[in-house]
Amino acid sequence: MALQTYIIYKLILVLVVFAFTMLIAMYSTYAERKVAGFLQDRLGPNRAGWFGILQPVADAVKLFMKEETIPSVSNKTLFIIGPALSLLTACMTGVVIPWGTTITLFGENFPLQIADVNIGILYLFGVVSIGVYGIMIGGWASNNKYSLLGAVRASSQMISYEVAMGLSIIALIMTTGTLSVGQIAAQQHGWHWNVLVQPLGCLIFIICAFAETNRAPFDLPECEQELVGGYHTEYSSMKMGFYLFAEYINMFISATVISTFYFGGYNMPFIGRFVHDANLLTLCGVVFLFAKIFFGIFFFMWVRWTLPRFRYDQLMNLGWKALIPLSILNIVLTGAWMMRHEIMAYLNF
C-alpha cells in the first residue's frame, strides 16, 4: 500500500471511529433517559423532535449556553485539565478495537482497526488507568470537600477494581496466548467465544467494568445523597458536559471491550453460510459488533435502574475479598486445565 493511501485511510478510519464514538455517547444520554423512563413506567423525553430524538442536541445547546463558573479558590489550570483529560483518555481507547475484519477496495486490503498493537490489552489498561486522573485532578482542583471525597472514592475504587480486572484478563491471555486485541477477536471465529471458555473471568470482568466506569451500583464517586455531585460538584457548562460525556464514552468502550474480549467481537456463528461476498461479510461483522455493543450499553443501563448503590465498605469487601480471590482462583483453574496432560502424565494416569 502506498504511503499516501495508508495515511488517508488511517485518517478516515480515525475520524469515523471518533465521530461514531461521539455520536453513540451523545445518544447514550438519550437512551439512558429513555430506558430509565421505560423501566420506571414513564415515557422519558419525548418532546424535542420525533420521540424526543433531538433531546441530546437540545442538551448540548443548553450545556454550551450555560454560564461557565470557575471557583475563585480553585486551581484554575488543573480545574480545566481535569475534564479535558477525562474526555481525552475516553476517546483514546477506541484505537486498538477491531471494528471488523478487512474491507477490500481497488485491490487493497483495509483492516477496520486503527492500530493492531501487539500489546493492545496493555495499552487499553494503561489508557483506562489514566482516566482516573481526570476525575482525581478535577476533584482536587475544585477545592471543595465533596469534590475531593468523590475524587478519593473514584480513585480508590478504580485502583481496587483494576486489580481484579487485570487478573481476570490474565486468565484470558493464558487461553488466547496473545495480547493483541485484533488476534483475540479473530480467534473467536464461529462459536469459539471466550465467554464459553472463561465464564467466571467474563463475569468478573463485567462487574469490574461497571466499577471502572463509575456506573451504578458502583457510582459512589457521584452519589447525590452524600456528596452533592461528587467530583463534578463545582463544574458547570461544557466542562460538566465533558465529564458526563466521558462517562458515556467509557460505557461505550467498556461494552465494546466486553463484546470483543468475551462475546466474539465482530464474529457471528453461521453467517458465513448465508453471506459469501467478503466485503459484505465484513460489514455484517461490524453490524454484529455494534448490535452486541448496543446490547451491552442497554445492559449497563438496565443494571443501573435495577440495583441500589453499594455502601462503601461493601464495595471494598466485594472488590478485595470476593473478586480478587475469585480471579486468582480463575487463573489457577485455567492453568490447571491448560496443563492437564502434563499433570496427568506426572500423576501416572
Partner 1 sequence: MQPLTNRSKVVVNKKMSLYEKIYLPAILSGMMITMSHFFRKKPTIQYPEQKREFSGTYRGQHVLKRDENGAERCTACGLCAVACPAEAITMVAAERKKGEEKLYREEKYAATYEINMLRCIFCGDCEDACPKEAIFLTDRTVKPENNRGSFFYAKDILVEGTEKEKRIDVTRRQTAAVLEFKKHKEFDHNR
Contacting positions for partner 1 (CB under 8 A): 35, 38-43, 203, 302-303, 305-307
Name which of 39 and 130 has its Cβ closer to partner 1.
39
Q: Which residue has the cell 461544557?
A: 238
Question: What CA–CA distance (Å, rounded) separates 313 from 238?
Answer: 33
The answer to whether residues 220 and 39 touch, using CB atoms and an 8 Å cutoff, is no
The residue among 41 and 342 lying less far from partner 1, judged by its C-beta, is 41
> For partner 1, which is the closer residue by CB, 215 or 232?
215
CA torsion through residues 212, 217, 218, 219, sign: positive
Q: Which grid coordinates belong to 68?
A: 461557565
Q: Which is nearer to partner 1, 131 or 319 (CB)?
A: 319
Nearer to partner 1, 39 or 88 (CB): 39
Q: What angle do CA 303, 309, 312 make, to 5 degrees?
A: 135
User: Which H, E and C letters describe 208-222, residue by residue?
Assistant: HHHHHCCCCCCCHHH
Nearer to partner 1, 41 or 67 (CB): 41
Query: Distance (Å, rounded) from C-alpha 152 to C-alpha 252?
Result: 24
Annotate 84-103 with b (16+ C-beta within 10 A) or e (fewer).
ebbbbbbbbbbbbbbbbbeb
Report residue 53 as a C-alpha cell. 430524538
